[in-house]
Chains A and B, each alone.
Chain A
């Protein structure tokens, strides 16, 4: 019999919360990064591109370890935050940051593809019609890259649901606090009696991913129809 324990429900809720927060947190930064890479010409652009894409190729565990070094008690950012009374390591917020960093390149990539498909002349037209660059950004670039934004957000959300390596290092695996679905599955899989429980969470995982993909399709079709 497949059933969920209260700890499983906590893990599901936490996973959704972390994925949502990570996506929401990354979205403005992802949009700005995609804008800079697509439309601006500046020194060090290649470096920015490399930096943005690095998490895509690095093992998540490595990212987690770097984050731990940065945000930990002895890390320079960690120390600063500590002074402000903020502790991130081993809280759900650390899981959000881990997911945000790991999923960031996927988000930027999708938004970038959306932005690259915008006809440059549309932007020029808006400028000659009296729009400042930020006005063009909000009234032409943003609405025309909305598909990329939606695709990137869904991808990022789905990726965050599955984040494991970086999360376990910076947030740990504390049931009810930082234990997301993948971490809970990991726990069940390592215990001799957890097979059914692991399977149940796997099914939940599949269902959640399907829902995200389905939502993406529905929203995408709606936008296409509106066009």
Chain B
């Protein structure tokens, strides 16, 4: 997917100007609310008209003020998953799912109902009304409805914001896998860096009506480590735990991690802040932290008065942080062997 965009739009006290080319099949648009993310989404979909400029999707002109082109939304084949599911309350789950499908030209129909219903686990809901579904179910139906419209681009506009934490992380795998499985490129819009890192590799940072940066999610997470109160968040996918003395042992890399909380789901997601790791130059004899990992320093990066340390623990990677004097005192440079201590309670379960 390639989007070329040069647009300008003014509201009463807000001015949006963007000039960029977006390439890739999974791209994020990141920024705080009020920065212009949703306006951009509206412009891509044809719901909001730029004052002037041009928008091209894969070489096709969607909007051009110069040439007087403004394709209506129904001709753009760009589907949206909104923050609120926006399901049609007068239609059943099946009626909602098929709304876009029926309106899609037969030649463009590549995904059919039965396959999608199975992937999203909606079989038992098909004939129900949509008003009594749970939040997560509604958002799955909304996603299915957008995918079944067989769009050439899917816009996900803060699709997880209305859900609570547990649900958020249950829906993410669906968002990602369904789009990948059916080969639909997407733009993922969010103000959450964690969501971004789970959904996309590359993103645009939008603030004050401007695209201020195009970068990788990893790079952004590292550059924000300094100002973020939670530091750099390591995301760990862990399998099935084994109970050990009231704690839970997860297979991780070549060894095991001990945590205080467990998740009965397979492939559970945990977060670990860079601030919750203590670095030792040599093996400490006795320590209360339950996890002591021998790691090799892959590299360091500065973050204000702190230093981020990229660690390799077998095949796994973690990022820890120490204040700059500590880094120089311990002589941490790429290639050093160190020990990282992590409390069992430092792992926080997501979802």
Interface residues of A (CB under 8 A from B): 119, 121-122, 124-133, 135, 139-140, 143-144, 227
**How far does the alpha carbon of A185 sit from the alpha carbon of B149 in the complex, in Å?**
61
A sample of 22 cross-chain residue pairs with beta-carbon separation below 8 angstroms, ordered by A number, consists of: A119-B84, A121-B84, A122-B86, A124-B80, A125-B82, A125-B88, A127-B46, A127-B47, A127-B72, A128-B74, A128-B76, A128-B80, A128-B149, A129-B99, A129-B100, A129-B103, A129-B145, A130-B74, A130-B100, A131-B99, A144-B89, A227-B90
A126 near B129: Cβ-Cβ < 8 Å: no
**How far does the alpha carbon of A125 sit from the alpha carbon of B74 in the complex, in Å?**
10
**How far does the alpha carbon of A133 sit from the alpha carbon of B73 in the complex, in Å?**
10
Residues from chain A with a CB closer than 8 A to the CB of B76 are: 128
Residues from chain A with a CB closer than 8 A to the CB of B104 are: 130
Residues from chain A with a CB closer than 8 A to the CB of B45 are: 124, 128
Nearest 10 CB-CB pairings of A with B: A130-B103, A129-B100, A127-B73, A125-B86, A143-B90, A129-B149, A121-B86, A130-B74, A128-B73, A128-B80
B82 near A140: Cβ-Cβ < 8 Å: no
A125 near B103: Cβ-Cβ < 8 Å: no
Residues from chain B with a CB closer than 8 A to the CB of A135 are: 74, 103
Q: Residues 209-251 of chain B: 1 if any A CB is under 8 Å from the residue's CB, otherwise 0?
A: 0000000000000000000000000000000000000000000
Residue of A nearest to B45 (CB): A128
Residue of B nearest to A142 (CB): B90
B146 near A129: Cβ-Cβ < 8 Å: yes
B90 near A144: Cβ-Cβ < 8 Å: yes
Say what secondary structure dominates the interface of chain A. Answer: helix
A126 near B99: Cβ-Cβ < 8 Å: yes
Mark out the residues of chain B between 68 and 92 whose CB falls within 8 Å of any chain A CB in the assembled complex.
72-74, 76-80, 82, 84, 86, 88-90
A129 near B79: Cβ-Cβ < 8 Å: yes
B103 near A128: Cβ-Cβ < 8 Å: no
Is B131 part of the contact surface with A, judged by Cβ < 8 Å?
yes
A122 near B73: Cβ-Cβ < 8 Å: no
**How far does the alpha carbon of A140 sit from the alpha carbon of B103 in the complex, in Å?**
14
Residues from chain A with a CB closer than 8 A to the CB of B100 are: 129-130
Residues from chain B with a CB closer than 8 A to the CB of A139 are: 99
Q: Residues 30-65 of chain B: 1 if any A CB is under 8 Å from the residue's CB, otherwise 0?
A: 000000000000000111000000000000000000
Residues from chain B with a CB closer than 8 A to the CB of A144 are: 89-90
**How far does the alpha carbon of A125 sit from the alpha carbon of B79 in the complex, in Å?**
8
**With contact pairs A129-B99, A131-B74 given, residues A122 and B88 touching in the complex (Cβ less than 8 Å):** yes
**With contact pairs A130-B100, A130-B103 given, residues A125 and B77 touching in the complex (Cβ less than 8 Å):** no
**How far does the alpha carbon of A130 sit from the alpha carbon of B150 in the complex, in Å?**
10
B90 near A130: Cβ-Cβ < 8 Å: no
Q: Residues 137-148 of chain B: 1 if any A CB is under 8 Å from the residue's CB, otherwise 0?
A: 000000001100
A227 near B129: Cβ-Cβ < 8 Å: yes
Residue of A nearest to B102 (CB): A130
Residues from chain B with a CB closer than 8 A to the CB of A119 are: 84, 86
Residues from chain A with a CB closer than 8 A to the CB of B99 are: 126, 129, 131, 139
**How far does the alpha carbon of A124 sit from the alpha carbon of B155 in the complex, in Å?**
13
Residues from chain A with a CB closer than 8 A to the CB of B82 are: 121, 125
Mark out the residues of chain B between 298 and 325 whose CB falls within 8 Å of any chain A CB in the assembled complex.
none
B345 to chain A, nearest CB (A): 42
Residue of A nearest to B78 (CB): A128
Residues from chain A with a CB closer than 8 A to the CB of B86 are: 119, 121-122, 124-125
A139 to chain B, nearest CB (A): 8
**How far does the alpha carbon of A107 sit from the alpha carbon of B169 in the complex, in Å?**
47
Given contact pairs A128-B79, A129-B149, A144-B90, a sample of 15 additional A-B residue pairs in the complex whose CB atoms are under 8 Å apart: A124-B47, A128-B45, A128-B46, A128-B73, A128-B74, A128-B80, A129-B146, A130-B74, A130-B103, A130-B104, A131-B74, A132-B74, A135-B74, A140-B88, A144-B89
Q: Residues 97-121 of chain B: 1 if any A CB is under 8 Å from the residue's CB, otherwise 0?
A: 0011001100000000000000000
**How far does the alpha carbon of A126 sit from the alpha carbon of B86 in the complex, in Å?**
9
Residues from chain A with a CB closer than 8 A to the CB of B88 are: 122, 125-126, 140
Residues from chain B with a CB closer than 8 A to the CB of A129 are: 74, 79, 99-100, 103, 145-146, 149
Mark out the residues of chain B between 238 and 272 whose CB falls within 8 Å of any chain A CB in the assembled complex.
none
**How far does the alpha carbon of A121 sit from the alpha carbon of B84 in the complex, in Å?**
9
**With contact pairs A119-B86, A122-B88, A227-B129 given, residues A130 and B47 touching in the complex (Cβ less than 8 Å):** no
Residues from chain B with a CB closer than 8 A to the CB of A125 are: 80, 82, 86, 88
Residue of B nearest to A133 (CB): B72
Residue of A nearest to B79 (CB): A128
B329 to chain A, nearest CB (A): 56
Q: Residues 7-44 of chain B: 1 if any A CB is under 8 Å from the residue's CB, otherwise 0?
A: 00000000000000000000000000000000000000
Residues from chain A with a CB closer than 8 A to the CB of B74 are: 127-132, 135
Residues from chain B with a CB closer than 8 A to the CB of A127 are: 46-47, 72-74
Picked from A132, A133, A227, the residue with its CB within 8 Å of the CB of B89 is A227
